[in-house]
Amino acid sequence: MRKNVSISTEELLFHLKKKGDFFSAEKLAQDLKINFKELKQAKKELEKWEYMIESDSKKGYKLAQIPDLLLPMEIKFDLKSKILGQEIHSYKALNSTNDLAFDLAEGEAPEGTLVVAEKQSKGKGRLGRSWFSSPKLGIWMSLILRPSILPSQAPGLSIAASLALVLTTKELTGLPAFIKWPNDVIVNNRKFCGILTELSAELDKINFVILGVGINVNHTERDFPKNLRNIATSLRIEKGEQVSRVDFLKRFLEKFEKIYLQYKKTGLLTFKDECLRHSYLLGKKIKIQVGSEILEGKAENLDDNGALILRTKEGLKTITAGDVSLL
Amino acid sequence: MRKNVSISTEELLFHLKKKGDFFSAEKLAQDLKINFKELKQAKKELEKWEYMIESDSKKGYKLAQIPDLLLPMEIKFDLKSKILGQEIHSYKALNSTNDLAFDLAEGEAPEGTLVVAEKQSKGKGRLGRSWFSSPKLGIWMSLILRPSILPSQAPGLSIAASLALVLTTKELTGLPAFIKWPNDVIVNNRKFCGILTELSAELDKINFVILGVGINVNHTERDFPKNLRNIATSLRIEKGEQVSRVDFLKRFLEKFEKIYLQYKKTGLLTFKDECLRHSYLLGKKIKIQVGSEILEGKAENLDDNGALILRTKEGLKTITAGDVSLL
């Protein structure tokens, strides 16, 4: 795990960012209440994290480049959320962010704890499938949630997160993204986000939910294995330019927090219409595989827990989750 | 954890049990393919586990007393189940058998793994409540199950286990026990078994279920704290004599395995009638608290997933779990 940097290092970064220009070393040491030696150490520590800092014997220090890494001090900088991402566990590599988050949640990790990794060696998709998570190109993250809701309401959390992802995508890239129930977000008919919701629960009480999110951000076509190129895409491919992963993650945490807090009170009620407006499946004829059963019908609505209401020949059916394809 | 005894020790026990009388040391050593020194070591090891063995220089060895402990070699002896209890983790004391089973299940522990402890320091009941688990008087156990069922079908596992507990109680003690939905078994209007079903799941797939069962076996009235005496009972209190914990556990594993294997195929269907016949609530007016909501009505049926169907003034409601009291 990436160790927390010392407070003076984080403060130095904060001051340099706020200034946006050269900052006199004397003034910096004074503001940070440290001596010159400690100031140099703090600068070195930042450089160790791949920050580039210009130094000038007269003008002082200037932040020249911020690394393209999901560092806690970058994610936390100016982050407006109150719960999500207040505790961050950031790794260069993990087997699976969901697995680590699950372990942390079994301990005392507070609601909103974020686990993020540059790379997953065993990234997980639904039903034990793998999730392709190449280094530094995407956001591979998991959030620990501790909502007082029934297990049957958990599907709504995936939908709520999907909505936050759609809105974040729209705001940062202008791209029209759609919620593909139950757990994908797509642009141009291809998937760039997947959600894996796992839970520890009693029959009528959720102990905790791990909301895993994988977002393909800066992949080019050839970054995907051949078998995925027709079905997977990234923000970069669609937008035609790189997107800051840190910015995306921060905006997502802020947007999802608002939706999540509302969800805990009223379920999907408040933003169901918004979800339906951004739905990829609504009104379409689809096929859903649930376990070994295959259902066909028209996607008609969502219920207040996030389950899909399918109009079949035999009437309406409510489905918690499944593998969907268009007919 | 209680370490596994060596094979020759377990075999010695097996031979002495089968014989039921003195067994010549010469013949024993021959049958076990060990020498006299090893035979003595095996005998000593059994004595360390509180077995009492008579020895006679002419007649050989005889098993005089079996300890009243939930030892793997006792549980496994002549156990007819094929899956449940084939792997046993037995402890003198644990915080909670469910917690350890959960950890083991996240690893590679196979379906049917049994965790059992003489004492729990943090025995768990539903909704984070505590479960009183005094040393050596009860069976405090958890089973790891890996059924391919939907999370919504999990309530039926509690009911299935309750049925197995009712049948085991009837067979071993003759006492008429009843299933008190969702997770208790009672005799004479007092509870002697509680079930805590916990699961790790995706939205439409169970990773594993931990079925925790607490059974008050040999408590006397005064073994219970005063606040529990009106609501809790034990087999010994009701029957008026001690009941072998090992026997009860073995019969339960065998009975539950049959029901469980059927449940994986057809849900409650096959034995729903039997569950209803042994239901404590059926046909009665009850009050159910689900979260902050309180429902009143008549307990009318179980659905095929083990949820209760309650007839309220507003019509039928299907309830996954809750706190029930008679009106």
**Which of A201, A203, A320 faces B158 most closely, judged by CB atoms?**
A203
Residue B288 phi, psi dihedral angles, 5° rounding:
-125, 125
Q: How much is the ipTM here?
A: 0.81
Write out the residue range of the structural domain in which residue A314 sits: 285-326
Residue B1 pLDDT > 90: no
Lowest mean pLDDT among A286-290, B131-135, B284-288: B131-135
For B221-235, write each residue's pLDDT tens digit.
999 999 999 999 999
Give the C-alpha separation, B60 to A189, whole Å: 81
> What local confidence, expressed as pLDDT, does residue A7 receive?
76
A195 and A110 within one domain: yes
Could you report how far apart the first and last alpha carbons of chain A are, in Å? 45
**A222 found inside a domain:** yes
Query: Do B82 and B225 share a domain, yes or no?
Result: yes
Distance of CA A210 to the CA centre of its chain: 12
Contact B106/A at CB under 8 A? yes
Nearest residue in chain A measured CA to CA from B196: A202
> Sign of torsion, CA A97 A102 A103 A105?
positive
A262-309 residue pLDDT tens: 999 888 999 999 999 999 999 999 999 987 889 999 999 999 889 999
Which is it for strands B114-117 and B88-91: parallel, antiparallel or unpaired?
parallel
Residue ranges with strand state E in B46-153: 52-56, 60-65, 88-91, 114-117, 138-145
Residues A88 and A150 in one domain: yes
Decide: B297 and B310 in contact? Cβ < 8 Å: yes
Q: Which residues of chain A have pLDDT under 70?
A: 1-5
Which positions ≥6 away from B60 have C-beta within 8 Å? B22, B23, B24, B25, B26, B27, B28
Of B207, B183, B186, B184, nearest to B197 (Cα)? B183
Last residue of a domain, one of B236, B255, B277: B277
Pick among B142, B203, B324 to test the A interface (most A CBs inside 10 A): B203
Instruction: Decide if A2 is inside a domain.
Output: no
Residue B292 pLDDT class (50, 70, 90 cuts): confident
Enter the tokens of residue A78: 């100016």
The CATH number assigned to the domain holding B311 equals 2.30.30.100
CB A264 within 8 A of CB A270: no
CA–CA separation, A126 and A198 (whole Å): 9
> Phi/psi of residue B103, each to 5°?
-60, -45
Rounded to two decimals, what is the model's pTM? 0.87
Which residues in chain B touch residue A107, judged by CB atoms under 8 angstroms apart?
none
User: Count of CB atoms within 10 A of residue B213's CB?
Assistant: 28
Shared domain check, A255 and A144: yes
Name the residue among B152, B183, B202 with its Cβ closest to that of A127. B202
Q: How many domains does chain A have?
A: 3
pLDDT of residue B2: 65
Contact pairs from chain A to chain B, CB under 8 Å = 85
- Provide the strand spans (E) within chain B: 52-56, 60-65, 88-91, 114-117, 138-145, 177-180, 184-187, 190-202, 206-216, 285-290, 293-302, 308-312, 315-319, 323-326
How many Cα atoms sit within 13 Å of B316 on the Cβ side?
8
Check whether B5 has a pLDDT greater than 70.
no
What's residue A226's pLDDT? 93
Q: Is residue A214 part of a domain?
A: yes
Residue B7 has pLDDT above 90, yes or no: no
- State chain B's mean pLDDT as an integer: 93
CA distance B127 to B75: 30
Burial A114-144 (b: 16+ CB within 10 A, else e): bbbbbbbeebbbbeeeebbbbeebbbbbbbb
> What pLDDT is stored for residue B24 in this prediction?
93
% of residues, chain B, pLDDT over 90: 80
Same domain, B93 and B229: yes
User: SS3 for B282?
Assistant: coil
Judge whether A209 lies within some domain. yes
pLDDT at B173 over 70: yes
Compare all CA atoms of chain B with the CA of A148 and give the residue at the minimum distance. B291
Is B196 in the A-facing interface, judged by CB distances under 8 Å?
Answer: yes
Inside any domain, residue B1: no
Listed residue (B292, B179, B311, B260) closest to A265, CA to CA: B292
For residue B203, which residues of chain A lie inside 8 Å, CB to CB?
A: 154-155, 158, 182-183, 197, 320-321
Q: Residue A225 and residue B291: Cα distance in Å, rounded?
A: 47
Q: Which residues of B touch A202 (CB under 8 A)?
A: 126-127, 196-199, 321
